């Protein structure tokens, strides 16, 4: 076909969710394959509030693989991107050679254009790489017509991305094999399992960019003896307990395990040399608030967890959300002049809180400590957007200007 | 003798030092006897800068045991005070029964008045109970005429007090016996061993009173699996390495072990449930500063350690004190209006620091973060003050008004 003939690219657009671990992943036993030193478990957040959207276009007229992230072209040669591209193409080739007719044979020799955007600010410090790589792998798989176990490929983009390949409650089984083939994600329960569970993301006003998680966890593995102990002797039991708590919808156990695990992860960061601090003054204030709130009721009604940054993610039940939010407003008076809504996502009706509860919370108000809150819940895994108008790449294979 | 005859009390006054652990004590295996879950090691600070002074008067006219701490009468029935009084009296009785003529026989049936003052503000958050109980036990022993191994008694007042019974570099051997008889302090090297070693106490402007160490460590023992691992599997080796570093005056090793051990102690506090935070924003700023300073020189010239509070204690060598202090002044601009001298204790001549060093320190200045600095060094153990004018109790057995 002559070069000037118009060739229309094959285009697929998908979305994928963020996940928040309640048993944390920290530390790799194999850097290249991204094999973890312990299993982990997370809740997939609903894409109505937080998601990555990725369009992949494949066309024989494309000269090279290219990628645009949040409106900016990035280097396609990033090793982890290359891992995902290579592994998906390898899988497609294998399926084709095995005689699978669904694999798009022509497509396999074509270059791809990739365009990806998050519906939340990267600055929010929400593990955007998990949603990003899950979405990339899921979309590429659709383009090449492969399906089945894909979490092992997403894992090679970003460890926790493997957990974003499923909805609901997801474990990442660390596996034992040296080639990593058994280090994959598995759904523990679907998102419909625990309809009362609610999630609040408390976005802290960041002081500065913390140590990146890739560099951080490597230093931890090299220097922290507590991390080794945690991975070998604490997490295996904790995983069992957490899975049981999820099966039973036992919130008190789920909450305590979640808080303990977050604290222990940050403890291993502090045991790293030089030490790593992800929790800031706002984070510690949230921790105190949650413990005071729970102590007031003599029960774990609310749990916090923190990833490699200062934002708190709160797990609670539907019946406590409104009251707890009111307490948060009391301790972190919103800055009404920043032009943003303090609470976004799922609607929560304001409630009055009792004087007893007010008196039980002994904390100095910290104004502007939390810039805003995203209210959400557990949600489904990645999905295909069927409406072509939602493609982020135009018929020319370049990002739409309004993307 | 008729009651109105003037009876002059037997009076002894002693001083005892503060000590700062470089391998931390955190957690008891026996609360009553104060037996630790791991051995620890500290440097005794010089009494020219930091000390407790205690006067004990014994007189047959005293109706009851009484105690005044920093000018205020306190409850003598405090269990730990009672432990020390009981154990010293038991020891004296045993020695007398064994035929030791130095034991003051008459004295043994008398009540005592105790008066104790620190030459540093309690608010400074320096383990004042260590110096206090060491001084109490040492002074009582002089009053009753007993000597020999007394650290096991001081230990029953406050665990770390046993280490304040000796000067220089002191280990507290955890022991194995259930009765605690082998849980005692031992001098590793005298204060004259490492004359270049310098100590800076950076007194942080406290935000609020942190969790007390007694309650804190109990909760840690009950809830932190990392603490158990630290005590059993990390500290034994670390003790050996630290003792060797002290013997060899190997500052780089001493410094790294000191920082790692402080961080690990605070990591176990964070792994406690609910978590305990002793490090505040100022502490974390000091930690960053030290690492940036050391990184600039590619060597551990300075080490930090933090006890159950936000104050940093810095260990360094004489040749680096002036420069490091200047860097501290840069990052923590002194509040010149507070009427206090920023630097107290051993004199340090101001020096200029290089532009390269200034540029290597990438930290926002935090004014008023450190309220003042005490410059000191390793020093001797408790001693008797021979001059009667230094008694804190008058001939009437009551605190002197100017005490």
pLDDT digits (tens, 9 = 90+) for B344-369: 999 999 899 999 999 999 999 998 89
Residues on chain B touching A284 (C-beta within 8 angstroms): 277
Top mean pLDDT of A192-206, B102-116, B158-172 is at B158-172
Q: Which residues contact A191 (CB under 8 A, 6 or more apart)?
A: A44, A46, A167, A168, A377, A378, A379, A380
Which pLDDT score is estimated for B207? 57
- Are A226 and B264 within 8 A, CB to CB? yes
* Most B CBs within 10 Å, among A234, A238, A263, A292, to test the B interface: A263
- Give the nearest chain A residue to B285 (CA atoms): A277
- Eight-class DSSP state of A359: H
Q: Across the A/B interface, how many CB contacts are shorter than 8 Å?
A: 70
| CATH 3.30.70.890 domain locations along chain A | 197-377
CA A141, CA A231: separation in Å to the nearest integer? 32
Q: Mark residue A125 as left, alpha or beta (left: phi above 0; alpha: psi -120 to 50; beta: remaining).
A: left
CATH match for B10-191+383-390 among 3.40.47.10, 3.30.230.10, 1.10.260.40, 3.40.50.720: 3.30.230.10
User: CA of A308, closest CA in chain B: separation in Å?
Assistant: 15
Q: How far apart are CA B392 and CA B285, in angstroms?
A: 40
* Tens digit of each residue's pLDDT (9 = 90 or more) over B45-64: 999 999 999 999 999 999 99
Phi, psi (deg, nearest 5) at residue B125: 70, 20
pLDDT score recorded for residue B67: 97
Per the CB < 8 Å rule, is B274 touching A291? yes
Give me the pLDDT at residue B101, please: 78
Tell me what the mean pLDDT of segment A351-370 comes to.
Answer: 92
Q: Which of A18, A9, A16, A5 is nearest to A201 (CA)?
A: A18
- The Cα–Cα gap between A303 and A44 comes to 16
Q: What DSSP designation does A347 have?
A: -
> Residue A152 to residues A138, A173, A181, A258: CA-CA distances in angstroms?
12, 10, 7, 25
Distance from CA of A249 to the nearest CA of B (A): 22
| Interface contact B273-A263, CB threshold 8 A | yes
Q: Identify the closest residue of chain B to A291 by CA–CA distance.
A: B274
Beta strands in B196-275 (DSSP E): 197-204
- B197-376 sits in which CATH class? alpha beta
Return phi, psi of residue B191, to 5°: -65, -25
Instruction: Give A341's Cβ-side CA count (13 Å radius).
Output: 8
Which residues, other chains included, contact A101 with Cβ-Cβ below 8 Å and sequence gap of 6+? none
**Tokens representing B124?**
């400074």
Residues of A with Cβ-Cβ distance to B223 under 8 angstroms:
260
Asked whether the predicted pLDDT for residue B115 surpasses 90, the reply is: yes
Per-residue b or e along B334-373, where b marks 16 or more CB atoms closer than 10 Å to that residue's CB: bbeeeeeebbbbbebeeeebeeebeeebeeeebeebbbbb
Q: What phi and psi, each to the nearest 5 degrees, are found at residue B92? A: -65, -40
Q: Do A273 and B263 touch (CB under 8 A)?
A: yes
- pLDDT over 70 at A120, yes or no: yes
Q: Residue holding tokens 């305590």?
A: A256
CATH class of A10-190+385-390: alpha beta
For the residues A114-128, what does the mean pLDDT come to?
79
Task: Give the pLDDT confidence score for residue A123 in this predicted structure.
Answer: 56
DSSP letter assigned to residue A339: S
pLDDT digits (tens, 9 = 90+) for A259-276: 999 999 999 999 999 999
* Residues of chain B with a CB closer than 8 angstroms to some CB in chain A: 223, 225-226, 229-230, 233-234, 256, 259-260, 263-264, 266-268, 270-275, 277, 280-281, 284, 287, 291
Distance from CA of B321 to the nearest CA of A (A): 22
Range with the poorest average pLDDT among A83-97, A223-237, A316-330, B96-110: B96-110
Q: Where in chain B is the domain with CATH 3.30.70.890?
A: 197-376
| Cross-chain Cβ contact B264/A271 below 8 Å | yes
CA distances A227 to A269, B236, B244, B305, Å, are 8, 18, 26, 21
Residue contact A267–B263, C-beta within 8 A:
no
Q: Which of B271, B274, B287 minimises the CB distance to A264? A: B271
Please state which CATH number belongs to domain A197-377.
3.30.70.890
**Interface contact B268-A263, CB threshold 8 A:** no
* Nearest one of B186, B166, B182, B163 to B174, comparing CA atoms: B182
Q: In sequence order, which residues have a C-beta less than 8 Å from that of residue A306 and are 6 or more positions away?
A: A262, A265, A266, A278, A279, A283, A312, A313
Reduced DSSP (H G I as helix, E B as strand, rest coil) percent helix, strand, coil of chain B, to 5: 40, 25, 40
What local confidence, expressed as pLDDT, does residue B4 receive?
46
| Whether A19 contacts A143, CB under 8 Å | no
| Burial zone of B179 (CB within 10 Å; 0-12 exposed, 13-18 middle, 19+ buried) | exposed
CA-atom Rg of chain A in angstroms: 22
- Which pLDDT score is estimated for A215? 87
Residues of chain A with CATH 3.30.230.10: 10-190+385-390
SS3 A385: strand
Residue A173 has pLDDT above 60, yes or no: yes
* Residue B2 pLDDT > 50: no
- The CA–CA distances, whole Å, from B338 to A233, B335, B370, B374 equal 51, 6, 12, 16
- Tell me how many degrees the CA angle A277-A335-A300 measures, rounded to the nearest 5: 55
Chain B partners within 8 Å of A234 (Cβ):
225-226
Residue of A nearest to B230 (CA): A226
DSSP per-residue letters across A180-215? -TT--EEEEE-GGG-TTEEEEEEEE--SSPPPPHHH
Long-range contacts of B340-345 (CB under 8 A, 24+ apart): B340/B371, B340/B372, B341/B372, B342/B372, B342/B373, B343/B372, B343/B373, B343/B375, B344/B49, B344/B372, B344/B373, B344/B374, B344/B375, B345/B48, B345/B49, B345/B373, B345/B374, B345/B375, B345/B376
**CA-atom Rg of chain B in angstroms:** 22
Strand partners, B375: B200, B345
Burial status of residue A109 (CB atoms within 10 A of its CB: 0-12, 13-18, 19 or more):
exposed
Which has more pLDDT, A103 or B272?
A: B272
**Mean of all residue pLDDT scores within chain A:** 92
Interface test with chain B among A38, A204, A229, by most B beta carbons within 10 Å: A229
Contact A274 B291 (CB under 8 A): yes
ipTM comes to: 0.92
The pLDDT of residue B6: 60
- What pLDDT shows up at residue B208? 56
CA distance A346 to chain B (A): 30
CB contact under 8 A, B268 and A264: no
* Distance spanning both ends of chain A, measured CA to CA: 31
């Amino acid at each position: 076909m002559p070069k000037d003939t118009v060739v229309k690219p094959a285009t697929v657009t998908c979305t994928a969710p963020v996940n928040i671990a309640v048993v944390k992943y920290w530390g790799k036993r194999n850097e290249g394959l991204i094999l973890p030193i312990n299993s982990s478990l997370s809740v997939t957040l609903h894409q109505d509030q937080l998601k990555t959207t990725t369009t992949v276009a494949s066309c024989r007229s494309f000269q090279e693989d290219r990628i645009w992230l949040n409106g900016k072209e990035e280097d396609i040669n990033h090793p982890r991107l290359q891992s995902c591209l290579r592994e998906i193409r390898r899988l497609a080739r294998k399926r084709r050679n095995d005689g699978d007719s669904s694999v798009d044979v022509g497509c396999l020799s074509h270059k791809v254009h990739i365009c990806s955007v998050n519906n939340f600010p990267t600055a929010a410090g929400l593990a955007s790489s998990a949603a990003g790589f899950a979405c990339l792998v899921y979309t590429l798989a659709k383009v090449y017509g492969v399906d089945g176990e894909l979490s092992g490929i997403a894992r090679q983009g970003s460890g926790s991305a493997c957990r974003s390949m499923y909805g609901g409650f997801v474990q990442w089984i660390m596996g034992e094999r040296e080639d990593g083939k058994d280090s994959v994600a598995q759904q523990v329960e679907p998102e419909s399992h625990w309809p009362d569970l609610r999630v609040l993301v408390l976005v802290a006003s960041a002081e500065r960019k913390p140590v990146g998680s890739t560099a951080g966890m490597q230093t931890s593995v090299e220097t922290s003896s507590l991390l080794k102990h945690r991975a070998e002797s604490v997490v295996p039991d904790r995983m069992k307990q957490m899975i049981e708590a999820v099966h039973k919808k036992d919130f008190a156990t789920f909450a305590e395990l979640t808080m303990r695990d977050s604290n222990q992860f940050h403890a291993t960061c502090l045991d790293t040399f030089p030490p790593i601090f992800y929790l800031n003054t706002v984070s510690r204030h949230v921790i105190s608030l949650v413990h005071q709130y729970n102590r007031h009721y003599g029960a774990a009604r609310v749990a916090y967890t923190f990833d490699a940054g200062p934002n708190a993610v709160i797990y609670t039940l539907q019946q406590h959300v409104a009251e707890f939010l009111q307490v948060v407003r009391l301790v972190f008076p919103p800055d009404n002049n920043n032009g943003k809504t303090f609470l976004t996502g799922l609607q929560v009706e304001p409630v009055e809180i009792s004087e007893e509860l007010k008196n039980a919370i002994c904390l100095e108000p910290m104004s502007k400590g939390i810039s805003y809150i995203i209210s959400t819940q557990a949600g489904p895994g990645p999905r295909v957007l069927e409406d072509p108008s939602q493609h982020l790449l135009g018929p020319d294979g370049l990002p739409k200007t309004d993307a």
